[in-house]
Structure 1
Amino acid sequence: MGALQGKKIILAVTASIAAYKSAMLVRLLVKAGAEVQVLMSQAATTFITPLTLSTLSNRPVLVDFVKDNTGVWNNHVDLGLWADAMVFAPASANSLAKCAHGLSDNLLIATYLSARCPVFFAPAMDLDMYQHPATRESLQRLQGFGNHIIAATHGELASGLVGEGRMAEPEAIVAHLEAFWAASLPLQGLQAIVTAGPTYEAIDPVRFIGNHSTGKMGFAIAQSLARYGARVQLVSGPTALPTPSHTHLQLTRVQSAQEMYEAVSQYDTQSQIIVLSAAVADYRPAAVATQKIKKNDADMSIPLVRTIDIAQTLGQRKRPEQTLVGFALETEQELANAQGKLQRKNLDLIVLNSMNDPGAGFGHNTNLVTLINRQGTIQPLPLMDKAEVANHIVQAIIALRSPKANPEQLS
């Protein structure tokens, strides 16, 4: 996941011994959330089989213009329009020269000439070929056309020589692509905090006061913020959810409201976005028993005291550049209660959740919410998957930050 999530990438594999690395490159791109369509030159199929790359990409590999003898063909124009990026890896000296001079004698070059997306070349060849003036001229022409060159690296080559010409490693190519798209993400360079899940307020070593929150909504928001470029600190109460794998997302697990507040306080001063989606307990036992409380025939009462109000505390010290988002889970007078909380706690946006709506609230994979901002805009959303709800919330945050954040980040 990350900047490559949902990106459509054409991987053009040409005839170089480095073609064996294309298998790992496909695997890494797919793992990062990209859709990968592999094109191969006929000569490239002698280095690595189409079956290998088809299996890893979950798509048939395209080699020729014509699919079969019925006249069905692989449309290079449609391919060029489909892609968000085209990557030649490995890019042989022959293919670089053909692209640089428009010699369209195979499906790869025809697709390159039809592509309206960014194109990246990762050269791979022997030292003398890479240094040859003809190859240097090809690379310069391709750069002059607006293409991107992922430079070959120094190392041991297939010939036994040592020098420049080695294709960049698959991890480096993926990082290059991620950096290219990350620069245009609307939340790039911003820090965010998201709280998620319930808190457990201990009664004794065995029992606690808690609620039914699963953390799904908060985890989805954290992942959406990360996909939009933010670096996210996710502070979660006890949940069964796995640790998110996004490289821009760090998870801190806590138990109680006080622990959640202390974790948030470590990051809030350097964060521009704070989303408080956790279902924090309002009360905790005044005293925690050190041993398990034994059952007896008499009734038992537990004195309770208020927990710290994290939203109100952060709202009181909110800085002008911060966007503070809260949640309101209501059962009656829902809109009025949510609007009151928005003002009382100095929030910029509040997400109203109703316990009265089927498919919404705790435990569901779907949610039905209404977004309300300080400007008075009320945006009811239909019932949808929590990941989709998270994207709507993040888009509302981006819209709120438009006049606050750097204009180039939000254009």
Structure 2
Amino acid sequence: MPQKLTPRIDERWIRHDWRMWIRPDIARWMKPGVDPADVIPALARERARKEAAEERARAAEDAALAAEIEHERRALAALNEKVKELNADMARWRRRVAEEEAKYSPDQPRVPAGNPRGGQWTDRSGGQGTVANPSQDTGQGTATSLAQPMGNVSIGDVSGSSELGDLFRIKPDEPRKEGVRLAANDTPEDPTPVRDPTPIREAAPLVDPAPKIPQEMPPKGGGRMVFVRDAAQWVARNAGRAALAVETYFEALDQVEKIKALTDAIKSANDPAKTLEELQAPIGSPSQGGYEDHHIVGQHAQNRARFGDDLIDSRENQVRIPVVKHIDISTWYSRSNDEYNGVSPRDYLRDKDWDEQMRVGLDRLRKHKVLK
């Protein structure tokens, strides 16, 4: 009797159309909880390929994240170096100021009244010796034994500088003669009593110091907007007369990455008014730090039901404005207003047509100096 042969089917022959041999709902004929891939080799291979692809994607994502972290670390190291340089410059500046202050002593005696050089600074011993060595007797006459005038502190030409004028108040208390500060007795004939000595240059404290920069993001309700508004107002006051100080303040803000959102809001708060076209141009583009999109006609549910989402969210009804101005405008819409019989502008506009709401919205943008 001839032997019955089992037909041989090579797996490679059917690999390209293996799905034709497996029902798509094969799991229905298996025990609940059994994965068909654990039973059918073709499905197991497909599962393995998917897992390998997912693992490669995760590895690529991890590598990209590691590269980004390393880049940020290098950037932070560079910023730290700049901060160290700034601190070193400030330390040198403080030492120079201290040295300049040391050159002047308000207690140094002056020549008494009645002398031809009455009122001029003399040596610290009160005699007729020179300042260089007041303990020695030079044997010279009165005219040559007087101390030399105090040297002027050189800080450059500050006659037209408004910034340095805020840092130092530099002015003579009385007229000078030949570069020497005179007391009351300019001449022997002047009977005016000698006044008490006063400093030629008095270092004045900053009249408008910048708000202190927090090193951590303040908690919600813990002064975020108070800091933003104080800083924005300080920048507005000093942008013209102390532009260098404002620029330095912005650089210091940029050093604190944790408050970047607040820094962006401060920088945008004093933007000049723009045309409607300029405010609408960024709509649809990615968001910008320090700015938010504002709907001129409110986007609350009642307006969306009346006018439709397409009109409410249209480009013509949106403008991109500074965050601080957006908060101020939204607050104005929510508070009661005597102009609208004690109700809030938002409640007043609920039953008004599109044109009236658009008119009020544009007028509010102008009053907040957002729209020209």
TM-score by length of 2: 0.21
Q: Which has the higher contact order (CA 8 A, sep 6+)?
A: 1
Which structure: greater strand fraction? Answer: 1
More helix by share: 2
Compare CA radii of gyration and give the structure with the larger one.
2
Instruction: Give the TM-score taking structure 1 as reference length.
Output: 0.19
